[in-house]
Amino acid sequence: MKILFVDDERDVEDLFRQKFRKEIRSGKLELAFAFSGQEALELLSTDNPPKFVYVFSDINMPGMSGLELLEEIKSRFPLIQVSMISAYGDQENYDKAMSSGAKGFFTKPVDFDSLKKEISSLIEDRD
């Protein structure tokens, strides 16, 4: 199962690779990282249909914002699930994300347990 993380902070990659080390090792999970909305869309477009099933995106990014990316993915790849991870857990962002079809909304610092639970449930669904 392929999951895409989108964040302009590059250290996010290390964070999630370590966090999901076991899952990656076991081959249950494959992680990809994009550092802007544009990059994320390019990755998603490389395969048709895309291999990614889930996208976690930051909201505040230069250029295309996470919410814009959400709308784009939802229109182009409706099957892919998208959840937002933002430092700003305010109602406005939340409402916007949800109304745009986001599956979940996580705030930074990332609560690994709930994130893991989300991903685990995803894996179980596949299994």
Partner 1 sequence: MAARIGNHRPSAPSAAFWGACLYFLVLLSASAQTAEQLQAEMKRMEAGAGFATDTAYLNLANELGFILAESSPDSAVSYLDLQLQRCREARYEKGEAEALKIYGNALQNKGDFRGSISYYSEALEIAKRLDGEKLVPGILNNIGLVNYNLGNYAEALNSFYEAIKGADLTKDANVKAAALNNVALIYFEQDKLEEAKEKYREMLAIYQETGNKGRVILAYNNIGDVELKQNKPLEALKNLQVAYQSATELNSPEFVEMTSRTLADIYAALDSADRAEELYLQSIALSRENGYGVPYAHSLIGLAELYYQKGELQQATDLAKEGLAQAETMAQPMQMRNANELLSRIYEDQGDFQAALRSFQLFKFYNDSINTSHSQRLTATLEAEYEFSKKEMEYERASSRQRWIIFSACAGLLAFLIILFVEYRNKKNLDKAYHSLQDKNNEIASKNEALEKALSQLKAAQAQLIQAEKMASLGELTAGIAHEIQNPLNFVTNFSQLSAELIQELSEERAKKPEEQDPDLLDEILSDLQLNLGKINQHGKRADSIVKGMLEHSRASTGEKVQTDIKSLINECLRLSFHGLRARDKSFSADFSTEVEPDLPQAQLVPQDISRLLLNLLNNAFYACANADFRKENPDLKPLVTVSASCIAKGSPKARLKISVTDNGPGIPPEIIDKIFQPFFTTKPTGHGTGLGLSLSYDIAKAHGGELTVQSVPGEFTTFTVFLPV
Out of 57, 81, 83, 93, the only residue in the binding site for partner 1 (CB under 8 A) is 93
DSSP-derived pairing of the beta strands 30-34 and 52-58: unpaired
For partner 1, which residue of 42, 45, 47, 60 counts as binding (CB under 8 A)? Answer: 60
| Least gap, CB of 38 to partner 1 (angstroms) | 9
What separation, in Å, do the N-terminal and C-terminal C-alpha atoms of the chain show?
10
Q: Which of 49, 51, 66, 57 is nearest to 106 (CA)?
A: 57
Q: Which parts of this chain interact with partner 1 (CB under 8 A)?
A: 9, 11, 14-15, 18-19, 21, 60, 62-65, 68, 87-88, 92-93, 96, 108-110, 112
